[in-house]
Chain A
Amino acid sequence: GESVGLHLPTLSVQEGDNSIINCAYSNSASDYFIWYKQESGKGPQFIIDIRSNMDKRQGQRVTVLLNKTVKHLSLQIAATQPGDSAVYFCAENSRDTGRRALTFGSGTRLQVQP
């Protein structure tokens, strides 16, 4: 679900398990999607991106899945580590509008239990 104020959705996983973080977007014209990781007191850190002509993209220990039919994006983290604990944001924009501004979701907090 969406967060309100300080009450971010939280996903708690055990170290070594796989994590799946979900994001719903509303703009059907969005065609570029990015996942960022933000640790406390730091700026967002780029993890992985995907364009709308793809439905899956893999990086190191991370996979992003895009389902344009239901306007849903997910980030899968394999073998989650304590260092993965952070707030994760999805962001989007639309090439058609010519705008470069990213629209961010409200974030999900990932807590990795050792």
Chain B
Amino acid sequence: GAGVSQTPSNKVTEKGKYVELRCDPISGHTALYWYRQSLGQGPEFLIYFQGTGAADDSGLPNDRFFAVRPEGSVSTLKIQRTERGDSAVYLCASSPGLAMTQDTQYFGPGTRLTVL
């Protein structure tokens, strides 16, 4: 079956612009996660959805970052007034969302965002 997909694979934008990054999770996975990975670092957690609701958004760096998952499947990460420091690879992961246990998170290929 298909894995997690993310579009676009690369996004170049100018400082101050608005961007949207899309994630299509593995079919049937109820849990969806966004992480951000800077060059040479491990991924850092941003936000986690269980179904349509954001169950944990403690990793969002500030209010310029927002994410939605209106139908409990596809998710969009939105960044307003982009800054050069937002440049990174944005990774999406999904998991079956099994209750009361950790379940394996499967990652997509990421979107490389470059803010000029």
Contact = CB atoms under 8 A, between A and B. Distances in A.
A106 B33 CA distance: 19
Interface size bucket, A side? 20 to 34
Contacts, number: 69
A35 B81 CA distance: 35
Nearest to B31: A100
Given A32-B102, A43-B4, A104 B44 contact: yes
Given A43-B4, A100-B31, A101-B45, A6 B107 contact: no
Contact of B109 (A6, A42, A107): A42
Interface residues of B, number: 28
Most buried by B among A8, A100, A106, A107: A100
Given A42-B109, A46-B106, A101 B58 contact: yes
30 contacts: A3-B41, A5-B41, A7-B40, A8-B40, A34-B105, A41-B109, A42-B110, A43-B91, A43-B107, A43-B110, A44-B91, A46-B104, A46-B105, A46-B106, A49-B104, A89-B42, A95-B101, A95-B102, A100-B31, A100-B33, A100-B48, A100-B95, A100-B102, A101-B45, A101-B58, A102-B33, A102-B35, A104-B43, A105-B42, A106-B40
